[in-house]
Amino acid sequence: MSENGNGKKELVEIFVDGQPVKVLPGINAIEAAKVAGKEIPHYCYHPKLSVVGNCRMCLMEMGTPMRDRETGEPILEEDGSQKIGWIPKPVIGCSTNVSPGMHIKTESDLVKDCREGVMEFLLVNHPLDCPICDQAGECSLQEYAMDYGRGYSRYEERKNVKPKRTRLGPRVTLDDERCVLCSRCIRFGQEIADQDVLGFVDRGSFSTLTCHPNKELDHNYSLNTVDICPVGALTSTDFRFKMRVWFLKESPSICTESSIGANTTVWSREGTIHRITPRRNDAVNDTWMTDSGRELFNQVAADTRLTSFQIGGNSADATASIEEATGLLSKGKTAVVASCHQSVEEQFITRKIADHLNSSVYIARHLGKGDGLLLSEDRTPNTRGALLNGLTDNLPTEDLSSLAEKIDSEKVDTLLVCREDLTRVGLSEAQLEKVKLVLLDTQTSATASHADVQLPALTVFEKNGTFVNLNFRLQKFSQAVPGPAGLLPDTLILSKILSTLTGESFPDSPATIWKSLSQSNSNFKGIDFSSIPTDGIQLEKSAFDHIDFPEKQSLKYSPAAITG
């Protein structure tokens, strides 16, 4: 790889089907052809895994400029143009790296023949399962059979029979007949998840993917093998036979499991979420996410969900509840408990409310064990947002014992609690009894049972907003499904409280809040909500270098101590 003075890689010019195109040095022909807008079909190649070249689908023709062996002078055609030395046989695109002046052919007759041949062999023993196969609609085999296949079968013998429902692990079911032996799942286990339990046994057309005896594919990243399976061999036990993918609406979202902020796609139909899959972001999560993060959508329809506005335990309408809440907050000696589960916009308004009430803000931290990959120690999605918003100067505290003391000493008699169960962070139910409590949360908790005013909140799947992940990357999530009937977005509730308190109107949607936010907070200067790209914006983080964050090394994060 050549680098120029700026440390920027110099581009290499190659020719894809005669078209000159400049690409990064060192990438392979599949990626290079993608830059040129040409597709080289492939099964086993995956941009984030090692190259093995065993599917042979990416066969193409390749040639390099000819040079005289002795003098090194370019050999020219009769018309004076550079002579290309074509390799007489096709080569595979995935393990062919680009070199200057390289020519590749992706559409020649030879290449088409190769693809038809490979497709024919892959389909020889492939079952006619498409009507019952969960991969139908997003299956490489289906797509390539249409685009590059022969269109009919010459095979008349009986197809091979392999096990149809092998349980590989608690979340993955294997249908061996559909497997095209690409080995992506095996490499994923070896290279990413560090649990090498899958492998091929038997030979030839009897080759079968199996799990090591007495072991299970049970690591917390097992469902990524389902995502990268180009066919319907590995299926999610949870999503199996639930819904055809062509009915599902895709909404870009952010995983709230930890401060990693993995980019996700939420797949829903008519207001019901059916699955969550990772969305590629090379700066955050590559193409992976945790299994545990995929289960978070269950909170949307959980029995414990708060679904009504309540005053003193009795259902009330939204306006009355917000007015009652405002009344309580303005009268008492109020403290605000904010949360790192709130979006940047919600934290911004919470800060404003606290400023107006002249009350102090408490935030509790929620730590767990990290796995060094895509599950970080900080189990909240937006700690950095709280810092940037000035909700807190330092890290959230382990528990809220200081708040408990103030309640005991009667310095605080009213609480505005956002997205937090106080009984889990150091407060007793007796202390909650003493204070007037306004709660904004999604799930029932011991705190909710003491709330004088209960304001039901929306989950991340039901609203728009932004989080700031552990690398200070500002990332946007979009609403996937409508919230339960009658519920209002958190930003609207908080903004109504603020505007009732101050008597001035305040913006209540993320887009309008961002206009105010980007003006008043230099950390977010010049950012417009609608123009935040799907892969996020890297924010300036040097101001927080002095903070000793709890996160340890993970896929895309290094603690400051290590990086120096």
Partner 1 sequence: MPGKTKVLERKPLSLAERTYLPQIATGLKTTLSNLFEKKVTREYPEQPPPIPDGYRGVPTLVKDPNGREKCVSCQLCEFVCPPKAIRISPGELDETGETAHVEKGPEEFEINMLRCIYCGLCQEVCPEEAIWLQNVYSLSGYTREEFVNNKEKLYEMGGTLPDSHFKWDKKKSAENEGNPHH
Which residues make up the interface to partner 1 (CB under 8 A)? 127-128, 130-132, 136, 158-162, 164-165, 202, 206, 208, 240-244, 246-247
For residue 368, the tally of other CB atoms under 10 A from its CB is 13
Work out how close the CB of 129 gets to partner 1 at its nearest, in angstroms, rounded to a whole number: 8
Q: Which of 430, 417, 448 is nearest to 329 (CA)?
A: 417
Q: What is the dihedral of CA 113, 116, 117, 120, to 10 degrees?
A: -160
Work out how close the CB of 118 gets to partner 1 at its nearest, in angstroms, rounded to a whole number: 22
177 versus 551: smaller Cβ distance to partner 1: 177
131 versus 151: smaller Cβ distance to partner 1: 131
How is the chain split among helix, strand and coil, in percent rounded to 5?
30, 20, 50
Helix (H, G, I), strand (E, B) or coil at 172: strand
Helix (H, G, I), strand (E, B) or coil at 114: helix
Work out how close the CB of 246 gets to partner 1 at its nearest, in angstroms, rounded to a whole number: 6
Report the distance separating Cα 307 and Cα 518, nearest Å: 32
Work out how close the CB of 131 gets to partner 1 at its nearest, in angstroms, rounded to a whole number: 4
241 versus 401: smaller Cβ distance to partner 1: 241
Work out how close the CB of 336 gets to partner 1 at its nearest, in angstroms, rounded to a whole number: 46
Helix (H, G, I), strand (E, B) or coil at 81: coil
DSSP string, 207-263: -EEEEPTT----STTTHHHHHH-SSSSEEETTTTTT--GGGPEEEEEE--SSTT--E
Query: Beta partners for 3?
Result: 9
Tokens 């009330």 map to which residue? 316
137 versus 327: smaller Cβ distance to partner 1: 137
Work out how close the CB of 211 gets to partner 1 at its nearest, in angstroms, rounded to a whole number: 16
Work out how close the CB of 236 gets to partner 1 at its nearest, in angstroms, rounded to a whole number: 13
Helix (H, G, I), strand (E, B) or coil at 468: strand
Q: What are phi and psi of 75, to 5 degrees?
A: -90, 130
Work out how close the CB of 141 gets to partner 1 at its nearest, in angstroms, rounded to a whole number: 16
209 versus 437: smaller Cβ distance to partner 1: 209
241 versus 410: smaller Cβ distance to partner 1: 241
170 versus 312: smaller Cβ distance to partner 1: 170
Measured CA angle at 464 (ends 462, 467), to 5 deg: 110
DSSP string, 471-539: T-EEEEE---SPPSTT---HHHHHHHHHHHHHSS----SHHHHHHHHHHH-GGGTT--GGG--TT-EEP
H or E stretch including 315? strand 314-315
240 versus 249: smaller Cβ distance to partner 1: 240
Query: Beta partners for 32?
Result: none
Radius of gyration of the chain (CA): 28
Contact 220, 179 (CB under 8 A): no
Tokens 């269109």 map to which residue? 151
Report the distance separating Cα 131 and Cα 178, nearest Å: 13
48 versus 269: smaller Cβ distance to partner 1: 269
Work out how close the CB of 140 gets to partner 1 at its nearest, in angstroms, rounded to a whole number: 19
35 versus 245: smaller Cβ distance to partner 1: 245
Work out how close the CB of 151 gets to partner 1 at its nearest, in angstroms, rounded to a whole number: 17
Work out how close the CB of 483 gets to partner 1 at its nearest, in angstroms, rounded to a whole number: 24
| Angle between helices 318-331 and 490-502 in degrees, nearest 10 | 50
Work out how close the CB of 72 gets to partner 1 at its nearest, in angstroms, rounded to a whole number: 56
Q: Which of 453, 491, 444 is nearest to 318 (CA)?
A: 453
H or E stretch including 540? none
Report the distance separating Cα 308 and Cα 552, nearest Å: 40
Q: Which of 535, 27, 547, 48 is nearest to 287 (CA)?
A: 48
Task: Indicate the pairing of strand 361-363 with strand 537-538.
Answer: unpaired
241 versus 505: smaller Cβ distance to partner 1: 241
154 versus 546: smaller Cβ distance to partner 1: 154
Contact 324, 453 (CB under 8 A): yes
152 versus 246: smaller Cβ distance to partner 1: 246
Work out how close the CB of 176 gets to partner 1 at its nearest, in angstroms, rounded to a whole number: 9
57 versus 133: smaller Cβ distance to partner 1: 133
9 sits in the region (left: phi over 0; alpha: psi -120 to 50; else beta) called beta
Work out how close the CB of 161 gets to partner 1 at its nearest, in angstroms, rounded to a whole number: 5
Task: Indicate the pairing of strand 453-456 with strand 436-441.
Answer: parallel
